[in-house]
Each structure stands twice: as structure tokens, then as C-alpha cells.
A and B are shown apart, each in its own frame.
Chain A
């Protein structure tokens, strides 16, 4: 007992010395290039390349990386892509299960597989338009049940076998096997509605659903819906996705060492790039390595040491690399809902609309974002769906009903609602104090503590209850809270709004029930065209904001840190980075 205590004390001392050491000596940021070949003249690989990769011109002050936000000035670099080099990437999550997308439920797995597997169609992240890829064209029957695809004839899988209608049928039939039910692909393909796939001829395939499946084409563009080589899948059996992964993509699978890395190498025979890529030839990178580094601080340190060239970051880390000329911060909106402080409309003080409105006026969303927990990036939330999730990013209607920060109005509303200031500055009504139960996970305390401070200024306060995810979801599901910090990811915006705000729906743990909103959501969910869907969704969102079901928090981002030498990273429509266009400046 005694000894153990002393040792623990010593251990702590060591830890502190180490921490102090770290902070006093800034980590070296020497740029050590991974071993690379001289660029030399790049032999025009295949096909007429629109941008002929040229020799690197040193230090011409030049273009911003495609997605770079204003955070970091781009380091001077030649604007022309050069071939060669290894890009090492690390995401927060590991490839946890398998790279076989017919089975995987893992997001990182999809991000990785997207480089090995091509899809039938591509979605332009800027416009949301659906473009042909492995499918040259397609027809949708008027009832939305039958999709007929004309396929490219020149596509070969990495194992040399041809891509054809049989391959597509094999893939879809595999996805809807009942034993893959939990998989992302199962949901993406709409397996519950799936009827059959028929091979019309070698390059024509017909997919039939039992009922209309309007999201099918959009979902087909996701990395999780890539087309694998049936031959390779049959051959590898249970090892498929573990020891091998064979698609037709710009990178070939080399190895996956679980919990360590996935290594992909360039496919030099690649001739069928996604139409939305700038690159019309083969990939520029020799190798694409996904390293698994679960801890965010370690990832950032590895980025600074140039062991890794692109990492996922947390918002608070952004400030840490500010001013580092060798690094850039890339952000892209996250697919899903805004991060919302949702209020219990069924019980407690927040059952009163006036109290909920007061909370909205009392919380200064803009001021929150300036705190270190947000590093001053991102936008305040206006609606359950952030701008990136609505057509044309148009939330102007929601701006009209937004609550501007106005503590005086908040106070007045609370007075109206009968909450009078007590002796300790906290309001009370019928002997009950205006102390609101805020439930969240313990990793998000710095996202709720400032709210407490803001509420104190209008005479309310929070009783913050934190725990692990299970505590949060258990407590929230029971409705045992006044406020809960909540969001969900996904790209089916209308379905998300429905899940959050329709009476009795999956996530509606705060007891919100508005008949008008239910009607709008019903109309949206059953609409046959996109305009009707969105008209109703926007109306429903507006009503939700008017009913002050929550404080709309902020629009979430994916934040990446990258070496300034990494150019032309772009993100697909759901915010996953795609490295086909990417090159490393010398």
C-alpha cells in the first residue's frame, strides 16, 4: 500500500516533468521529406492528360489548396501537380472491422476503400449533381423502382478480370444477404426494398426495387458502395477485405496490418477516373498509407514531425498549429445535423415555450465559437440541418427566425413566465429554482460549461451531468433531463429531421410534438419529388426553430491538418477526403 502510493506519486512527478519539458521546448518542425524519387519528366501516363504533370517550379507564390479555409496561408508552391511520393494519413478512428464494404460498418474503412473501389456514379460535392462513372448512363423507371445502368466496357479490376454486368449483380446480391444486415452498404442500397438485379447483357444491368428508392443513385456514389471483383471475392472467401481487396480504383490494396496501417499503391493501369476529379490520368501518389494513431495529440505531433502528412484534428488543436507555415488546416462541413442543445418540451421548466425562447436569447452562439473548444472556426447553427445539408446551402428563411443574442429579452421572457430573481441571483417560481439539468458526455464539458456562464447572467443555471456515452444515451432516452447536447451524422437530411422532430420518433427523447410539423414531415417523407421534400422539410425546420425546441448550437466540421506541401485534397459530398487528385510538392 505504502510503496504503491509512493510509486504513483513518483510516476506523477515524472509525468509532470515530461509535460513541462514538452511545453518549454516547442517540438521541432523540421521538414523531412520522405524519400522520394526525383520528379524528372513525367511520362504522360495514359490518355490525353489535360494537365500534364510538369517539373516542379520552385517557390512560385501560388494557389491556395482547393479546400483551404482562410485559417492558414498556403505556403508558396508550384501550381502543377508532380508525380511521386507517399502520403501518410491518419484518421481518428481505426479501420475496426474489415475493408470488405459489403460487411463493414466502419467509416474509416469506407474512406480507405473509396480509393480501391470505383463506384457506378459520382456526386459532385459542389453541386450535388450525379455524374456517370463506371456507369456511362442510366435510366430510372417513372415509378422509381427500376434502375437500368449502361456500363463502361473498358474497365478492368486489379486482378485483371473485367468489370461487367455480372460483377454489378454479384456485388448487389452480396450486399443484401441477410447476414450483412448491420453493414453500411445494406442500408445504402436500400436492402429492404431491394428485389433483384438482372444482367441484360454484358454491359447493361437492371436493378429492381419493390418500392421507389429515390436515394439509390446518391448512395451509389459512396465509398461503401464500391464494386469489388467477384473473382477475387470468391477466391479469398472470409479473407476478403482482410488480406485482399480488389476493385478497379486508382489505388491497389497492398496490405492491412490491423491496428497499424493500410497501405495502398498506385494503379498504373487506371483509365477511368471519376468525372469530378481534376486528374485525368493515373494518381500522382506512389503510395497512400493510412496509419492508425488513435490519440489526437499524438497524431498532431506526428504531423508536425512530418511522419504523417494529413491527420484529423479536434477543434481545440487548430490554435496549436496556428502560425506554423509548414502546416495547413483544411475544414469541410460534416454531413449530419447541427450540434444542438435540445430542450425537454415535455416536462420541467423547459416545457414552457417562453423559457425555451429565453434560453435561445441568453446563449450567444457566436461567442461560444470563439472559445478554445471551437478555435474560432465554424458557423453558429441556424437550423437542425446545417447549410451543407440543404439544397443550395440556402438557410435564409431560417435566418429570419434566428434568435439573436439578447440577454435583456431573455430576462423579460423569464419574468413573463413567472420566474422571479431570488436572493442568490437565480430565478425561482413556486419555490423551485431555475436550475436546468444538462446531460452530456464528459468529453464535451467545455461545450456546456460556457453555456452555464451565459445562463447565470439571466438568472438561470445548469446542473451539468456528464458521463460516458452509455450514461448520456441512457439518461437522455429516459427523458431524464432539461437540456441535452445532441447531433447525429448521416446524409439523408430529411430523414434526420424526421427522426429528431416527429412525434414519437427515434431521437425525439425531448417529447416534442407539434401536429403541423408532423404533417409537414409526413408530406416530406412521402413526396415523390425533391422540391416537395425540401419545401416541407424547410417549413418543418422553421417551425422547430420557432418552437425553440433547442438552441441550434453550431454547424459541425471535419477538421484536418496537413503538411503545406500536400496539394489538391478534396472532400466528397459527405466530407471524406479523396486523394486521387492529391500530390506532394517537392
Chain B
């Protein structure tokens, strides 16, 4: 990532003058390695990613194949996680659901992160009326609870997984903007930015070459944890029937279908619920570790 362009004036480098200069990311990784929780989280995430990518190889059945005679069968050697109300294999659906979950998490965070960071840097860099305008808009966005905002956006765009990603993405923008702006404000007065100005760099170049790399670390932490939040919100929206469209094996919509049979077929809700829980927990644990590792004050 930004390691090769890291400016020697970087705060991390400055605050550890005694140490041999080394790549920021190597240091971060060293820190992470000491955090057991973060490692477990990372392991689970890696496992999930592999499973999601290898879904066609791993899944024992077609996630869409309905076998009417097998409807609502409890877990058994044939169907480890049981079957749903139209006779589909739950394990296969959860495996394929991982793909969707990852996609939702990554895409919505990408939307939120990109737009949010851009707005934040612009606001922080130019200041003045532009700053005021952007930040007041962001304040308005921030005034709505995330889920409510997402519901409003879906009411406008219509239900569907893609619209959920957009809705969750837009809902995530404010936090990135605020963090990016705050960091930009401190960074823009630094000498290396000044020197950039003096040498006649364009605003764009200064923003992307000098400022962006330095506002990234806190944003990365935000994004990591944001993936978990996005997954949870998206699952919630699917649970409300506004997200993934049937027969898409999305965890949230599996939960809502299973709810009807809660007392009759516990596996129908439990496994998708567990999947959401484990994923969100793993990402949060990793995010925590990453935050600690990126925080120079905690560095040992």
C-alpha cells in the first residue's frame, strides 16, 4: 500500500526515532502477532474467505436445489446443517451465503470509505465554506440512525441486495468523512505538505500523494470494523425482506424464513444466526487488534 511512499516526516517515524526505520506495515504486523484475539479473528476471516471462494468445490449440494421430500429435515450425515422449508441443504446455502456476505461487507465499506474519505480530505484541505457545507451535510446524515437511513434509501431505490449495499454504504459515509477531515486538518499544516505547496504541486497531488497516505491508518481500522457493521445491517435489512431476493442464500433472509419454523426446526435459524455472529465477531476482534497495532501510543 502506501509503505513505499511513506514520508520520513510521518508521525510514526518521528515518534520512534531510536528504532531503525522500517516499513509501517511490518511493524503493524509484528504488533498484531502479539494479539491473540486479533489472530483468531484473522484466522476465521481467512477461513471464511477461502470457504466462500471455494464454495462450488466445498458445498455438498446446489444451494438452490429444492428436494420437496426433504423439507425441514434436522441435521443428519446427509445434511449436516439440516434442510430448509423447501428442502434445500442449509450447509450449502450457508457456504454460498458467505460469498454474498463478504461481497456486501466489502462493497458497502468501499462505497462508504471512498466517498467518505474523499469528502473528508476535501473539507479538511480547503476549509472555509466548502468545509462548512460538506460537514453540515454530513451532520444531517449523521443525525439519522444508520438503519433508519438505510431503510429510507431502500424505500427510494427499491428492495434488492445491490440497493442494500448502496444504502449501507451511504449510511457509513459520515464517520469516514469526520475522521478523514480531522486527520487532514492536522496533516495539512505539516512541513512536507508545505514543501509540496512551495514546489508548486497541484492541490490534487498534495491531497493524494501527501495527505491521503497519512490519513489512512485510522480509516483502515474504521473500515475493518465497518465491514462487520455493514454485514450486520445488510443481514438486518434482508431479515426485514428488503435485501437479498429469493432464492439467494443470504444469511439474513435465511434467518427470517427460518423464524416461521423457529420451534419446529431450530437448525433453520440457528446456523445462519451463528454464521452472522461468528463472522461479525471475528471481524470485530481483528479490527480491535488492528486499531491497537496502528496506535503509536500503544506500541511496545
Residues of A within 8 A of B (CB): 1-2, 4-6, 8-9, 12-13, 15-16, 19-20, 22-24, 27, 297, 300-301, 314, 316-317, 319-320, 367, 370-373, 441-443, 445-446, 448-450, 452-453, 463-468, 471
Q: Are A2 and B225 in contact (CB under 8 A)?
A: yes
Q: Which residue of B lies closest to A297 (CB)?
A: B262
Inter-chain pairs besides A12-B276, A443-B241, 10 sampled, C-beta below 8 Å: A5-B283, A16-B274, A23-B262, A297-B259, A442-B159, A449-B247, A450-B86, A463-B245, A464-B246, A468-B241
Return chain B residues, CB-CB under 8 Å to A464.
Answer: 245-247
Q: Which residue of A lies closest to B243 (CB)?
A: A442
Q: Are B280 and A12 in contact (CB under 8 A)?
A: yes
Stretch at the interface among B44-52, B205-213, B284-292: B284-292
Q: Are B159 and A446 in contact (CB under 8 A)?
A: no
Q: Which residue of A lies closest to B277 (CB)?
A: A12
Stretch at the interface among B7-15, B130-138, B264-272: B264-272
Cβ of B257 under 8 Å from chain A? yes
Return chain A residues, CB-CB under 8 Å to B283.
Answer: 5
6 A-B residue contacts at CB 8 Å? A5-B280, A320-B264, A373-B85, A442-B240, A453-B86, A466-B241
Partner of A5, one of B64, B260, B284: B284
Return chain B residues, CB-CB under 8 Å to A452.
Answer: 247
Q: Are A442 and B287 in contact (CB under 8 A)?
A: no
Cα–Cα, bound, A392→B65 (Å): 42
Return chain A residues, CB-CB under 8 Å to B262.
Answer: 19, 22-23, 297
Given the contacts A2-B291, A5-B280, A465-B159, A371 and B264 also touching, CB distance less than 8 Å: no
Return chain B residues, CB-CB under 8 Å to A317.
Answer: 260
Chain B residues 203 to 251 lying within 8 A of chain A, measured CB to CB, are 222, 225-226, 228-229, 232, 240-242, 245-247
Q: Which of A24, A301, A445: most chain B CB closer than 10 A?
A: A445
Q: Are A314 and B260 in contact (CB under 8 A)?
A: yes
Cα–Cα, bound, A372→B68 (Å): 9
- Mark B122-136 against chain A: 1 for CB-CB distance below 8 A, else 0: 000000000000000
Return chain B residues, CB-CB under 8 Å to A22.
Answer: 262-263, 266
Cβ of B61 under 8 Å from chain A? no
Q: Are A19 and B266 in contact (CB under 8 A)?
A: yes
Cα–Cα, bound, A1→B232 (Å): 13
Cβ of B183 under 8 Å from chain A? no
Cα–Cα, bound, A22→B277 (Å): 19
Return chain A residues, CB-CB under 8 Å to B92.
Answer: none
Return chain A residues, CB-CB under 8 Å to B175.
Answer: 1
Return chain B residues, CB-CB under 8 Å to A16.
Answer: 270, 273-274, 277
Cα–Cα, bound, A23→B75 (Å): 13
Q: Are A316 and B85 in contact (CB under 8 A)?
A: yes
Partner of B241, one of A9, A301, A467: A467
Q: Are A371 and B86 in contact (CB under 8 A)?
A: yes
Q: Are B266 and A5 in contact (CB under 8 A)?
A: no
Return chain A residues, CB-CB under 8 Å to B229.
Answer: 1, 4-5
CB of A551, distance to nearest CB on chain B (Å): 17
Cβ of B59 under 8 Å from chain A? no
| Residue tally, chain B, CB below 8 Å to A | 47
CB of A524, distance to nearest CB on chain B (Å): 38
Return chain B residues, CB-CB under 8 Å to A471.
Answer: 158-159
Q: Are B225 and A9 in contact (CB under 8 A)?
A: no
Cβ of B142 under 8 Å from chain A? no
Cα–Cα, bound, A441→B291 (Å): 42
Q: Are A450 and B68 in contact (CB under 8 A)?
A: yes
Partner of A371, one of B71, B269, B270, B277: B71
Q: Which residue of B lies closest to A367 (CB)?
A: B68
Q: Are A19 and B158 in contact (CB under 8 A)?
A: no
Cα–Cα, bound, A285→B247 (Å): 48
Cβ of B42 under 8 Å from chain A? no
Return chain A residues, CB-CB under 8 Å to B280.
Answer: 5, 8-9, 12
Q: Which residue of A lies closest to B278 (CB)?
A: A9
Partner of A23, one of B72, B232, B263: B263
Q: Which residue of B lies closest to A315 (CB)?
A: B260
Cα–Cα, bound, A372→B257 (Å): 12
Return chain A residues, CB-CB under 8 Å to B64.
Answer: 453
Cβ of B281 under 8 Å from chain A? yes
- Mark B102-135 against chain A: 1 for CB-CB distance below 8 A, else 0: 0000000000000000000000000000000000
Q: Which of B242, B256, B260, B287: most chain A CB closer than 10 A?
A: B260
Return chain B residues, CB-CB under 8 Å to A446.
Answer: 85-86, 257, 260
Cβ of B261 under 8 Å from chain A? yes
Cβ of B66 under 8 Å from chain A? yes
Cα–Cα, bound, A471→B156 (Å): 10
Return chain A residues, CB-CB under 8 Å to B266.
Answer: 19-20, 22-24
Given the contacts A22-B263, A445-B257, A6 and B246 also touching, CB distance less than 8 Å: no
CB of B132, distance to nearest CB on chain A (Å): 25
Q: Which residue of A lies closest to B276 (CB)?
A: A12
Partner of A370, one of B66, B68, B246, B274: B68
Return chain B residues, CB-CB under 8 Å to A316.
Answer: 85, 260-261, 264
Partner of A466, one of B246, B263, B273: B246
Q: Are A9 and B284 in contact (CB under 8 A)?
A: yes
Given the contacts A16-B270, A316-B261, A442 and B68 also touching, CB distance less than 8 Å: no
Cα–Cα, bound, A19→B51 (Å): 26
Q: Are A466 and B245 in contact (CB under 8 A)?
A: yes
Return chain B residues, CB-CB under 8 Å to A9.
Answer: 277, 280-281, 284
Q: Are A6 and B66 in contact (CB under 8 A)?
A: no
CB of A238, distance to nearest CB on chain B (Å): 35
CB of B272, distance to nearest CB on chain A (Å): 10
Return chain A residues, CB-CB under 8 Å to B245.
Answer: 463-466
Return chain B residues, CB-CB under 8 Å to A27.
Answer: 263
Return chain B residues, CB-CB under 8 Å to A373.
Answer: 85-86
CB of A563, distance to nearest CB on chain B (Å): 18
Q: Are B277 and A13 in contact (CB under 8 A)?
A: yes
Q: Which residue of B lies closest to A443 (CB)?
A: B241
- Mark B146-189 against chain A: 1 for CB-CB distance below 8 A, else 0: 00000000000011100000000000000100000000000000
Return chain B residues, CB-CB under 8 Å to A465.
Answer: 159-160, 245
Partner of A449, one of B228, B246, B274, B288: B246
Cα–Cα, bound, A449→B232 (Å): 25
Return chain A residues, CB-CB under 8 Å to B257.
Answer: 445-446
Q: Are A19 and B159 in contact (CB under 8 A)?
A: no
Sort A-B residue pairs by CB-CB distance and give the 5 closest, nearest first.
A442-B241, A23-B266, A467-B159, A453-B66, A12-B277
